[in-house]
Amino acid sequence: MIKDRILEYVGTKRFEVQRSVEEDGQVWFKIHIYGDPVNFGPYLLKGKHLSSPFGVLEKDFDQNYIDNNVDSVYSTFPTEEVDNLITKLKNKKWLK
């Protein structure tokens, strides 16, 4: 039973990265990939949920993991949003 899990999120328009710290100290990451954002009144919502592969341990979470998962969903994708996500993750020291 997981009772003391800490969850944090970092996101962009089409990506969300979840960081989970388990009670035993293990750190897991999971990426969620969405389609184009949707306007809902004055709000911009995440689009259709396209993929959320299995989470990985901190040691396996790197830019290649992100790139491979984005490439598995999108055949072409503007690099600006991926770069924005990478910058946010590095600023939080989640990505080295």
Among 52, 50, 81, 82, residue whose Cα is nearest residue 64: 82
- Please state the separation of Cα 9 from the chain's center in Å: 8
Q: Amino acid letter at 19?
A: R
52: left (phi over 0), alpha (psi -120 to 50) or beta: beta
Instruction: Map out the domains of the chain as residue ranges.
Output: 6-91
Q: Which of 87, 55, 53 is nearest to 73 (CA)?
A: 53
pLDDT in tens, the chain (96 residues): 455 677 899 999 899 999 999 888 899 999 999 998 888 888 888 889 999 988 999 999 999 999 999 999 988 887 888 999 999 999 999 887
Closest residue by Cα to residue 94 from 17, 4, 22, 13: 17
